[in-house]
Structure 1
């Protein structure tokens, strides 16, 4: 397993370009299975989770051609459905959470889709019920083998229907949409997720010939078509990485410019960081963060009560950035309550921050109170292990702000979501070494 050694307490300076969006890539790549024609995709991040999915598509028989860094063509002209029932597929699918989203396209185009219980971050229970309930409502037959945790859905012809999702699941909505575009008749999905990455998927499908209305709302109407064609698609920058770099700039008192961020898709992110007292300046389509030499102060509510930052489905604040917010708050002036509503194990990394000297009270699996140091007491370097992608980057940001040399183990977790992170941090002055 790899290790990062970080010499912290250094000011950084320069520009950093966010990678393509990981969560968008996992949806968009699965959509190539819906057509036998070529699909060209640009701005694909070079990260472990995405590369695993590209390999899985190749094993399924999809022709994959790399055009340039971040640009590929995919053609699912001949798909090897026998691979879906092989031991190799069971192994490949388990290692990747995003593999669940191949089921909808396969079911729609070939009449069957299988998947082993997917892996991914250990951040709490992440149900698959929304996905399979949607497929069943479209007319699929569901089966589950408890011995090897293997799911399957089959249908001769999916039929459009009306459905109300039990939760606004992003991956669940994406999977059901990809199944419904080739169903017979009209499908309406209420309580649909409406994240920018799902909007991107729907817009791409429409360019391929799908008929989806209500994009960006929680009510999608899909008129089924008989086939889809190829297209060209460019992915958005990763909003989670953008938020990570804002937090990094604040914690290290660095002047950073984050370039080409697509401001219109950032939602609450700039405002939440501003509530922590961080200056987030819009310069064209860039974000400029000045060096916060005098620190930053948390804004209380107008009645003087302590600020609460919590996660919610879009357009609420993304749960993937709460770990970053928590770390940034450790050096703010004031206190804040972090409420992680959506996952019950995502705050357990705070023990590492407490070891570094942070003042954090973990109230329960979902809530933590952070009492900021106002940089009067610098975090101390330590040795730690990355538990998941977002907590891993949060610990990396803490290490870059801490005095001394920190070591982070299990950095493969960070590499799952952040492209060449050590090289990009070195380019703005960080002292980080991959061992």
Structure 2
């Protein structure tokens, strides 16, 4: 288990370039299974979850070539489908939640797909019903081995287009159903589809491959099935979650930081939401510039004067992956804010570690926390803690970088799952952080 040792209280400065988007990369990588032709993907982040998925694809028989540090080619012309029923596959796939998205492409192209119950962040129950209900609507037969916790779908006679109204706007569920539907016979209509930038990018790539998807960017998708798809080249977006993390880092450490090449058109209400905490965000062409908040930052209130309430919602609402960052940033704001985590039931349970550091937080219930800001009149104090998941881990890291003294964070593999070489990149900004194996 790896550890970060952080000497906090340092003011940082400089420029940082966001990595490729983790959530998009996981979808795009699964889509290479839809064709036997070569696909080239650039701006692929070098992080644990993505590297695990690439290795799983290799084990399945995908020919993978690393062309540059962030660019790969994939060719899925000779797959070993027997691997899907092996014990090794159960081990490989169960440690990565993103592995669920190989089922749709395999079902579409080969008429069958299997997956063990996938792992991932411990942030509460994350149902897979949307995925499999969608496959069943398309004509697949579903089976579940309760003893081995192993899921399977089969469609030996192919899939047929169908109208479906999704019970929830699941991002991975929508992606999986889209990838199954692009090779189905007829037209599939998906209503209440997720429409995050990751999904938009997946649809753009599939259309480049010859798919016929209309309504991209909305929650109503029309997919006209085609017989086959071809290869293409695709570039992954910069990671909007990492961009939000750097905004939070700059505010908490009162540092002047420029985030380069952020794709403003794909950030939605992320900048607006950080501004609600009083953070100054300047647009400089396609960069974000955060000046040093030497006088702190003040939480806004609603028009009627009531306390600010920030909650997550499906896109184009505020992404739940950044609520943990906002919560940490609020601990040093001037004023109070209610953070309402609606979508996951255990994601706020890391706040006890912030309370240990001296933060004023009232955990109202598993979904709501009230934060009373210190206005930098009282620094957080260093402590020893363990990272519970990717986003909480980075939030605790930001807290440690702003705290007085030397903090220790264990289980940093959770952070490495989503952030590329984070200690090296933070040191380039002036942070005092060391990795201890």
Report the TM-score when normalising by structure 1: 1.00
Alpha-carbon separation, structure 2, partners of 1:375 and 1:302:
26
Is 1:177 matched with 2:178? yes
1:417 aligns with 418
CA deviation after TM superposition for structure 1 residue 200, in Å: 0.3
2:128 aligns with 128
Alpha-carbon separation, structure 2, partners of 1:417 and 1:200:
19
- What aligned pairs does 1:100-179 form with structure 2 within 5 A after superposition? 100-156=100-156, 157-179=158-180
Alpha-carbon separation, structure 1, partners of 2:32 and 2:332:
45
- What aligned pairs does 1:17-96 form with structure 2 within 5 A after superposition? 17-96=17-96
1:132-189 superposed Cα distances (whole Å, 9 cap, x missing partner): 0000000000000000100000002100010000000000000000000000000000
Alpha-carbon separation, structure 1, partners of 2:370 and 2:286:
34
- What aligned pairs does 1:258-297 form with structure 2 within 5 A after superposition? 258-297=259-298
Alpha-carbon separation, structure 2, partners of 1:207 and 1:284:
28
Runs of 4+ in structure 1 off by over 4 angstroms are: none
1:429 aligns with 430
Mark the runs of 5 or more structure 2 residues left unpaired by the alignment.
Answer: none
1:216-269 superposed Cα distances (whole Å, 9 cap, x missing partner): 000000000000000000000000000000000000000000000000000010
SS in structure 1 of the partner of residue 294 of structure 2: coil
Alpha-carbon separation, structure 2, partners of 1:284 and 1:147:
55
1:90-121 superposed Cα distances (whole Å, 9 cap, x missing partner): 00010000000000000000000000000000
SS in structure 2 of the partner of residue 135 of structure 1: helix
CA deviation after TM superposition for structure 1 residue 335, in Å: 0.2
Alpha-carbon separation, structure 2, partners of 1:411 and 1:90:
24
Alpha-carbon separation, structure 2, partners of 1:65 and 1:433:
32
Is 1:11 matched with 2:11? yes
Aligned residues between the structures: 435
Is 1:346 matched with 2:347? yes
Alpha-carbon separation, structure 2, partners of 1:351 and 1:211:
48
Mark the runs of 5 or more structure 1 residues left unpaired by the alignment.
Answer: none
1:383 aligns with 384
SS in structure 1 of the partner of residue 233 of structure 2: strand
Alpha-carbon separation, structure 1, partners of 2:154 and 2:347:
35
